[in-house]
Amino acid sequence: MDMKGKHVAITGPTAGIGKASALELARRGAQLTLLCRNPAKGEQLRDEVVAAGGLAPHVILMDMSELDSVRKAAAQCLALGQPLDVLLNNAGVVNLKRKETVDGFEETLAVNHFAPFLLTGLLLPQLLQAPAPRIVNVASAAHEFVRSMGLDDMQAERKYSVFTVYGRSKLANILFTRTLSQRLADKPITVNCLHPGAVATSLGRQNPGVLGKILPLFLKPFFLSPEQGAATSLYLCCSDEVAQVSGEYFARSALKQARPWARDDAAAEELWAYTEKALDFTFFGPAGAR
């Protein structure tokens, strides 16, 4: 699909599948808003997009580990005064050891679930100004590592396992997608999520020392290129084939059935309630879209 005249906001756009997605969307004519943690990398990507003949993107600073930063970035995005056609929640983190954010939350859950939940809720009015908006959440087959969200220890205070914590954060992406699509069923908007494949990205490199180098090397034999990994994100952002599809999970640009625990509506509602309480944010509050 040609993306001329479309406004697309992307989290985590300066590396890996986020960067590959951003560059391809720009090639297709989209006006991008780059939500970046690193200002230098954001400006560098802006220059790359322009050099490739794309429209000059908006660059907005956002640290997804800080909820105030997410709120400020959303306010700046709204202040652009442009309807938002696509929100691509792409950014993610994996930590080998437990870390807490400035808000006191376990960082993997905060970055991978809380931040996109909050950002999506804040940008929903802007999305609903577009004629056929789409929300695309990058999840992962890592949800297969777990069988529940583990609400009794969501912050991994009693036990921290990198595969469990990361898997739960990706399970949260799928459950969030499912619930949000149901709550927006009466709106002209779609919400879908995807497994990009094991992709050669910078994921995990923020871990210090040797550990930060070992994790990507451990996964490397299974890696796709960032361009290959971005294919399903681009499919959900652009394809006419999914214009009427919502609440689904995709892999390799095809519908895929997630594990049963990722299709549990009761668990999805529990997670939604937990998240709103933790963030002190009501998705469809007085200033919301519904």
Residues taking part in catalysis? 166
- Please tell me the distance from the alpha carbon of residue 264 to that of residue 267, in angstroms, as a whole number: 5
Whole-angstrom distance, CA of residue 235 vs CA of residue 228? 11
Q: Output the 3-class SS for the chain.
A: CCCCCCEEEEECCCCHHHHHHHHHHHHCCCEEEEEECCHHHHHHHHHHHHHCCCCCCEEEECCCCCHHHHHHHHHHHHHCCCCCCEEEECCCCCCCCCCECCCCCEHHHHHHHHHHHHHHHHHHHHHCCCCCCEEEEECCHHHHHCCCCCHHHCCCCCCCCHHHHHHHHHHHHHHHHHHHHHHCCCCCCEEEEEECCCECCCCCCCCCHHHHHHHHHHHHHHCECHHHHCHHHHHHHHCHHHCCCCCCEEECCEECCCCHHHCCHHHHHHHHHHHHHHHCCCCCCCCCCC
Q: Are residues 11 and 65 in contact, defined by beta-carbon separation less than 8 angstroms?
A: no
Tokens of 223: 């890696």
